[in-house]
Amino acid sequence: MSAPTAASPIDQRPLRGVLALFASRAGFYAFAALVAAFFALPMAWLVLAPFEAHPTFVAGLVQPTLDNFAVVFKNPDALASLRNSLVLAVGTMAVVVVCASLAAYALSRVKLPGRDITLYVLLLFSSVVTGSAAMVPIFVLVYDLHLINTLEGVILVLAGGTLPASIFILKDFMDSVPTSYEESARVFGAGPFRILKDVVAPIVRPGLVVIAVWSIVTVWGSFLTPFILLDKPSLLPASVEIYSYYDVGGSAKLPLIAAFALVYTLPVVVIYLIVQHRYGFRFFGGIKG
C-alpha cells in the first residue's frame, strides 16, 4: 500500500524520514478509520437489530434469533407492501425501458434542433420537479385523471420523472453503435421497429440494464410520490408502509420494523452490488429522486 503523502524518494535524514513516514501513515489510516466509522455506525442497527430477540434503539446482539423475520412473513400487510413495491418498480421500469429506447434511438439517429440542450434542461428539471416542487399539481392532476389511489398513477408519474435521465444515459450508448448494422438490416427490408428491437437493442444491452436497474432502485426507494398519491392501506408500498410502523405514538414495533427494514433494503443493495460487479457501473447523473 502506498500512502499518498509518503513521497520523498530518497531521504537524507533516515530517522526523521522514518518518523515522518510513520506519522503520515498513521494520519492516513486514522482518517480512513474515522470515515469508515462515520458511515458504518448508523448502519449497525440495520444489520444487528433484525436478529435480536428484544431490539432496542441501541444496535446490539444479545439474544440472536430469526423470529423477527417470521413476524414479517406472517404479516399480510408487510407482504402486500413488498408486492406493491415490486409492481411499482417493475411497472415503471417496463414503461421507462420501452419509451426511453424509442426516444433515445430517435434522438441518436436524427438530429433535431436544440436536441442536446433540451435534453440537458429536462435532466436538471426532472431532478427538481420529481423531488418535491411539483407535489401539489401532480396530486391535483392525478386526482383529475381519476388515477388517485391506483398503482398505475404512481407508475406514470414516476416514469415521467425518470425518463429524461434514462433517455440521456441510453442515448450515449446508442450513439456509440455504428449504423452499418442498421443499414444492412434495412437492405433486407426490416422496418424501424424491427431494427430497433432485433439489431440495436441487443447491442446496447448494457445500457438497457443500466436504466432498468436504475429505475427499479429509484422507484423501490421512492417515498413522496406514493405517499401523496396513495392512502388506501392495501396499496401502500414498503417505503410508506414501514413509516406507518414507527409513527404509532411511543410504541414503535421494533422487531417488526427491524426485520422488515432489512428485507426491504436487501434487494436494492444486492442488485447494486451485482450490477457494479458485472458492469463496473455507478449510478450516475441526474438521477436519484
Q: Which of residues 61-120 bind other proteins (CB under 8 A)?
A: 95, 98-100, 102-103, 105-112, 116
The C-alpha cell 407508475 sits at 155
Find the DSSP H helices in 230-280: 238-246, 254-279
Indicate the residue among 12 and 180 with the shorter CB distance to other proteins. 180
Q: Quick one: which segment of 11-19, 56-64, 69-77, 203-211 binds other proteins (CB under 8 A)?
A: 56-64
Site residues for other proteins, 7-36, by CB under 8 A, read 7, 28, 31-32, 35-36
Measured CA angle at 272 (ends 267, 277), to 5 deg: 130
The residues, ordered by sequence, that sit 6+ positions from 6 with a Cβ below 8 Å of its Cβ are 21, 24, 25
User: Between 73 and 177, whose beta carbon lies closer to other proteins?
Assistant: 177
Nearest to 94 by CA among 155, 170, 148: 155
Tell me, by CB under 8 A, how many residues bind other proteins.
Answer: 107
Chain residues 168-187 in contact with other proteins, contact rule CB under 8 A:
172, 175-176, 178-180, 182-183, 186-187
**Which one of 202, 206, 233, 285 is in contact with other proteins (CB under 8 A)?**
285
Q: Which is nearer to other proteins, 129 or 212 (CB)?
A: 129
For residue 50, what is the DSSP state?
A: G
- Check residue 281 for interaction with other proteins (CB under 8 A): no
CB of 15 to other proteins, least distance (A): 21
Q: How far is the CB of 255 from other proteins (least distance, A)?
A: 13
The neighbour count for residue 100, using CB atoms within 10 Å, is 26
CB under 8 Å to 70, separation ≥6 — which residues? none
Specify the 3-state DSSP secondary structure of 17.
helix
Among positions 186-225, residues that touch other proteins (CB under 8 A) are 186-187, 192, 195-196, 217, 220-221, 223-224
Residue 285 carries which DSSP code?
Answer: S
Q: CA–CA separation, 226 vs 153, rounded Å? A: 9
Between 73 and 246, name the residue whose CB sits nearer to other proteins: 246
